[in-house]
Amino acid sequence: MSRFVTLKDVAEKAGTTVGTVSYVLNNKKGRYISDELRQRVLLAASELNYIKCNGASSLKGMDRKLIGILIPQFENQFFTRICLAAEEVFVQHGYDLIICDTFDEPEREKAIIHRLLSQRVDGIIITPTVDGAENTRIARDVGMNMVVVDRPLEGLEGYHWVTTNNYGCGFEGGRYLRGCGHRKIIYIGWKSGIADLESRETGLRDASAPDAEIYSYYAEFSPESGFAETEKALDDHPDATAVFYGFNIQAKGGVNVFRKRGLRIGEDISVMLIGSPEWAYTGSNDFSRLDMEELELGRKAASLLLDLIKKGSAEPNRVIQDCVLIEGSSVRKI
């Protein structure tokens, strides 16, 4: 297909040489160009629709102006919001983004990282899978700039990491429920194998009253599984007064159980969740929740990566962001 116009084409049309055209188009200082020639080149370039080939110039050591982002779920707004915020920062600096969905599958993650490297991106932002530490090794070996967001690289030290205070999310939620008088609480969580994520449950337990009972159920990282575990939990513990969801992707399915059973949220049953997906506060829904301010996460990660790219490298940095309690009407005071 498409025969792209090259510097040579422009040079011929303008009656000069490729070198000169390159100087003009990049308007480098430190090189004299007569106004007359400059105009001729500019005109020729625009008439021919010249578009520089980024691949070729990157061969000469120039930035590719490309960033790779890996997220585990495209349908999860938590992650798309991170991308959204990151993109805003990057485009302002002239970078394009390659956004990839690992579907939380380690092999796919590995393949994607390899392809990003072969695209010679300038940097990578990643929310890793369980095997992230191993899968990112090639990237770290070649010295690729990388910022990890949200989940950690299990078992690794000394990388750049922007994350939420996961323990704090659980703790704040627990404190709130305790303040509202709840003592029998169902926790729906995810056995991710990532300690930091699982500390959400620890936080919840630590903050709860000494006489409180926490009934934990573990679902897969999907709405359907969240639905199923919620059903099971409600069946097992009809006396529970509150349900706390550690992961909003599970909550998304789980909260449909209440409608199905005719339970009025905030009256018959109290519900709270970690994360702020739009469904949680739209229409008739008004859930109490712990907002993780994903946009801010994304911005921080992007800025950090830009710094790395500019400076070459830096001290391993760890940014931990606290969550924000948002009080809706889904938790009843008892």
Q: Can you give the binding site for its own copies, defined by CB under 8 A?
A: 1-5, 49, 51-56, 58-59, 64-66, 74-75, 77, 80-81, 83-84, 87, 91, 94, 96-101, 108, 112, 114-120, 138, 141-145, 252, 255-256, 258-259, 265, 277-280, 282-287, 309, 312-313
Binding partner selected for residue 237 from DNA, its own copies, none, CB under the kind-specific 5 to 8 Å limit: none
Contact flag: residue 48 with DNA (CB under 7 A):
no
Applying CB under 7 A, among 2, 61, 141, 142 the residue interacting with DNA is 61
DSSP-derived letter for residue 188 is: E
Span near DNA by CB under 7 A; candidates 8-16, 81-89, 150-158, 275-283? 8-16
> CB 236: neighbour CB atoms within 10 A?
12
Burial of 278 (0-12, 13-18, 19+ CB in 10 A): exposed
**Residue (45 or 89) nearer to DNA, CB:** 45
Least distance (Å) between residue 53 CB and DNA: 4
Residues near 18 by beta carbon (within 8 Å), at least 6 away in sequence: 7, 8, 11
Least distance (Å) between residue 40 CB and DNA: 9
Contact flag: residue 60 with DNA (CB under 7 A):
yes
Contact flag: residue 59 with DNA (CB under 7 A):
yes
Residues near 106 by beta carbon (within 8 Å), at least 6 away in sequence: 129, 130, 131, 132, 135
Applying CB under 7 A, among 43, 47, 62, 158 the residue interacting with DNA is 62
Applying CB under 7 A, among 1, 2, 29, 32 the residue interacting with DNA is 32
Contact flag: residue 19 with DNA (CB under 7 A):
yes
Angle of helix 35-47 versus helix 7-14 axis, rounded to 10: 130
Which tokens is 204 given?
């919840």
**Residue (56 or 334) nearer to DNA, CB:** 56
Whole-angstrom Cα Rg for the chain: 26
Contact flag: residue 144 with DNA (CB under 7 A):
no
Is the separation of the CB atoms in 304 and 126 below 8 Å? no
Least distance (Å) between residue 276 CB and its own copies: 12
Torsion of CA 277, 242, 234, 224, to 10 degrees: 10
Which tokens is 130 given?
């369980």
Torsion of CA 252, 169, 229, 209, to 10 degrees: -140
Contact flag: residue 56 with DNA (CB under 7 A):
yes
**Interacting residues toward DNA by CB under 7 A:** 4, 6-8, 15-20, 22-23, 25-26, 28, 31-34, 36-37, 50-53, 56-57, 59-62
